[in-house]
A and B are shown apart, each in its own frame.
Chain A
């Protein structure tokens, strides 16, 4: 089945009905393996057992950025290829992305309290993730403000693409800001050289969270298609009356 066949909502719904149970099973399995691996993984030599927040925190952070990427592709689908389900995909991805970003911020904050001694610090990465969270919320607000779903989809698509351009700019500029104003270095924790015994559970958890996003996203798209059908039926009924 070519991708263009999925432009038909009914075919898409049929595919979702077939695939979703398997995805749910795969997600549960991945989480089971990942969490077991996280429990059994050795403690960090500096942080002790607290390092295990990483298995929740890091996949959420990865996904918060990746979901904006998914939304940008969907935005291109809306504006360039006029794919009928592209704006449905974008609309459903936004709350999920916002949730992942929120969880990344909260788990990171809880991790920072014992490690850094503070819940928050205005360093480059935290600040740019906070700005990303604000942009997600602004996008969700835009979706909810315009009534007509197609028009809302086009407006949100443009905002998504402009935001995608802006994300590396913010990340880069906040790096500069922090260097210009706060020359004191931030406590760096567990750099890129993570031992493989911690790395493998991390990757498994990353896959688990990605599968979670896929499952929730497809389910949300199914719900959104149903919601739009209900709306059309109500409008038709109101017109006839």
Chain B
């Protein structure tokens, strides 16, 4: 049992180290997030009142895109150097391995987004309550985005020219998370809906995807390999 935990800890550390060191590191996701938030006022104009109203939605969309676009290399690099086959042949259930890799991805990509979101919310003229509300819902919701995204990452392993296919497949499945994430953020600021309602549903979505995502991804990796 402890051997498995040691192995998983080693896998987690390896994934975290690779994510931090390579390709701009963990900050590349935050940089993309910042770019998206900067682009939006160029597109819709600098009207501060409008930005304040749609600010939470922009932050959620930015977090969603940043998570998805960093996910498709999750298994591909392991597949290329053969370590994915070794892990598949090992004794640890593939579902647990996928779960560990997904958590490592979230800690190195999703968590920096959550930390950066209040600062970026200032660019969008959000009030302090909205900043806190957005950060909290992103904290709970970005793991769901990662767990749903690993299914697409597993499907994208074997594709030579994945391109946009993986985001296209995964985005419809992240729609409920997006809906309830923004709903919870807006409910936290005020309005007729109590904060707890969409927030608990968001928590439920994260928990459900934590189970369904790794199972589906592990099945794909096992069956999809030649």
Q: Would you call B151 and A134 a contact (CB within 8 A)?
A: no
Closest residue of chain A to B174, judged by CB?
A: A166
B70 within 8 A of A: no
A142 within 8 A of B: yes
Q: Would you call B179 and A177 a contact (CB within 8 A)?
A: yes
Known: A138-B169, A155-B158. A162 touches B151 (CB 8 A): yes
CA of A79 to CA of B198 in the docked complex: distance in angstroms? Answer: 35
Q: Would you call A155 and B180 a contact (CB within 8 A)?
A: no
Q: Would you call A166 and B173 a contact (CB within 8 A)?
A: yes
A25 within 8 A of B: no
A173 within 8 A of B: yes
Report which residue of A145, A162, A165 has the largest number of chain B beta carbons within 10 angstroms of its beta carbon. Answer: A162
Contact of A176 among B162, B179, B216 (CB under 8 A): B179
Q: Would you call A181 and B168 a contact (CB within 8 A)?
A: no
Q: Would you call B165 and A158 a contact (CB within 8 A)?
A: no
Q: Mark A136-162, 1 if CB is under 8 A from B, else 0.
A: 011101100110100100110011011
Q: Would you call A181 and B216 a contact (CB within 8 A)?
A: no
Q: Would you call B169 and A159 a contact (CB within 8 A)?
A: yes
Q: Would you call B176 and A158 a contact (CB within 8 A)?
A: no
B183 within 8 A of A: yes
Known: A141-B165, A155-B220, A158-B219. A146 touches B179 (CB 8 A): no
Which residues does chain B contribute within 8 Å of A151, judged by CB atoms?
A: 158, 224, 226
Of residues 137 through 164 on chain B, the ones whose CB sits less than 8 Å from some CB of chain A are: 151, 155, 158-159, 161-162
CA of A162 to CA of B147 in the docked complex: distance in angstroms? Answer: 13
Q: Would you call B223 and A155 a contact (CB within 8 A)?
A: yes
Contact of B155 among A79, A137, A142 (CB under 8 A): A142
Which residues does chain B contribute within 8 Å of A141, judged by CB atoms?
A: 165, 168-169
A100 to chain B, nearest CB (A): 18
Known: A141-B165, A177-B183. A170 touches B220 (CB 8 A): no
CA of A165 to CA of B175 in the docked complex: distance in angstroms? Answer: 13
CA of A148 to CA of B175 in the docked complex: distance in angstroms? Answer: 31
CA of A213 to CA of B169 in the docked complex: distance in angstroms? Answer: 25
Which residues does chain A contribute within 8 Å of B49, judged by CB atoms?
A: none
Q: Mark A91-119, 1 if CB is under 8 A from B, else 0.
A: 00000000000000000000000000000
Which residues does chain A contribute within 8 Å of B223, judged by CB atoms?
A: 79, 154-155, 158
Q: Would you call B168 and A176 a contact (CB within 8 A)?
A: no
A137 to chain B, nearest CB (A): 8
CA of A231 to CA of B168 in the docked complex: distance in angstroms? Answer: 28
Which residues does chain B contribute within 8 Å of A180, judged by CB atoms?
A: 183, 187, 193, 198
B23 within 8 A of A: no
CA of A127 to CA of B220 in the docked complex: distance in angstroms? Answer: 29
B45 within 8 A of A: no
Which residues does chain A contribute within 8 Å of B226, judged by CB atoms?
A: 148, 151
CA of A40 to CA of B155 in the docked complex: distance in angstroms? Answer: 51
Contact of B175 among A79, A137, A170 (CB under 8 A): A170
A58 within 8 A of B: no
Q: Would you call B179 and A134 a contact (CB within 8 A)?
A: no
A174 within 8 A of B: yes
CA of A185 to CA of B220 in the docked complex: distance in angstroms? Answer: 42
Known: A155-B158, A173-B179. A142 touches B224 (CB 8 A): no
Q: Would you call B180 and A165 a contact (CB within 8 A)?
A: no
Which residues does chain B contribute within 8 Å of A146, judged by CB atoms?
A: 158-159
CA of A210 to CA of B224 in the docked complex: distance in angstroms? Answer: 32
Of residues 186 through 226 on chain B, the ones whose CB sits less than 8 Å from some CB of chain A are: 187, 193, 198, 201, 212, 216, 219-220, 223-224, 226
Q: Known contacts A135-B169, A161-B216, A173-B175; can you find 4 more A-B pairs with CB under 8 A?
A: A138-B169, A158-B219, A162-B151, A177-B179
Interface residues of B (CB under 8 A from A): 151, 155, 158-159, 161-162, 165, 168-169, 171-173, 175-176, 179-180, 183, 187, 193, 198, 201, 212, 216, 219-220, 223-224, 226
Interface residues of A (CB under 8 A from B): 79, 131, 134-135, 137-139, 141-142, 145-146, 148, 151, 154-155, 158-159, 161-163, 165-166, 169-170, 173-174, 176-177, 180-181
